Amino acid sequence: MKTLMIVAHPELEKSIANKYISTTIKEKVEDIEVRDIFKLYPDYKIDIEAEHEALLKADTIIFQYPFYWYNMPAILKAWFDAVFSFNFAYGPEGDKLKGKNFLLSFTVGGPSDAYSPLGYNHFRIEDFLKPMEQSAYLAKMNYLDPIYEHGMVFIPGVYNTQEIVEQRAEKQLDRIITTLKSLSEADPEQKIKDFIKDWFAQFDVLGDEGYFTNHLLKETVLKFPEGEFRGHEGFKEWYDGIRKTIKPDNKHTIKSIVVTESNGLYNVDLNVSLEAETVSGEALNLNVKEDWKVEITRDDRMKIHEYIVQPL
Ligand SMILES: Cc1cc2nc3c(=O)[nH]c(=O)nc-3n(C[C@H](O)[C@H](O)[C@H](O)COP(=O)(O)O)c2cc1C
How remote is the CA of residue 27 from the centroid of ligand 1, in Å? Answer: 26
Same domain, 138 and 286: no
Residue 24 sits in a domain whose CATH number is 3.40.50.360
The Cα–Cα gap between 149 and 170 comes to 10
Which comes out higher in pLDDT, residue 263 or 71? 71
Same domain, 59 and 72: yes
How remote is the CA of residue 307 from the centroid of ligand 1, in Å? Answer: 55
Instruction: Categorize the per-residue pLDDT at 267 as very low, low, confident or very high, splitting at 50, 70 and 90.
Output: very high
Which of residues 158, 186, 214 is at a domain's end?
186
pLDDT at 234 > cutoff 90:
yes
> What pLDDT, on a 0 to 100 scale, did the predictor assign at position 185?
84
Which pairing describes strands 216-224 and 302-311: parallel, antiparallel, or unpaired? parallel
Which of residues 152, 167, 186 is at a domain's end?
186
Same domain, 34 and 149: yes
Probe target for ligand 1 pocket from 153, 158, 160, with the most ligand atoms within 8 Å of CB: 153
Probe target for ligand 1 pocket from 11, 68, 148, 158, with the most ligand atoms within 8 Å of CB: 68
Instruction: Categorize the per-residue pLDDT at 116 as very low, low, confident or very high, splitting at 50, 70 and 90.
Output: very high
How remote is the CA of residue 114 from the centroid of ligand 1, in Å? Answer: 14
pLDDT at 85 > cutoff 90:
yes
> What pLDDT, on a 0 to 100 scale, did the predictor assign at position 298?
87
Same domain, 239 and 94: no
**20-27 contacts, C-beta under 8 A, 24 or more apart:** 20/166, 20/169, 20/170, 20/173, 21/64, 21/105, 21/107, 21/169, 21/172, 21/173, 21/176, 22/64, 24/173, 25/173, 25/176, 25/177
CB atoms near residue 159 (< 10 Å): 13
In the structure, which protein residues have their CB atom closer than 6 angstroms to any atom of ligand 1?
9, 15-18, 66-70, 107-110, 152-153
Same domain, 215 and 116: no
Instruction: Categorize the per-residue pLDDT at 300 as very low, low, confident or very high, splitting at 50, 70 and 90.
Output: confident
DSSP 172: H
Which domain covers residue 9, as residue numbers?
3-186
- Contact residues for 132 (Cβ-Cβ < 8 A; gap 6+): 63, 72, 104
> What pLDDT, on a 0 to 100 scale, did the predictor assign at position 1?
85
Same domain, 180 and 201: no
> What pLDDT, on a 0 to 100 scale, did the predictor assign at position 147?
98
> What pLDDT, on a 0 to 100 scale, did the predictor assign at position 190?
87
Q: Which atom of ligand 1 approaches the CA of 110 most closely? A: 11
For the chain, percent of residues with pLDDT exceeding 90:
92
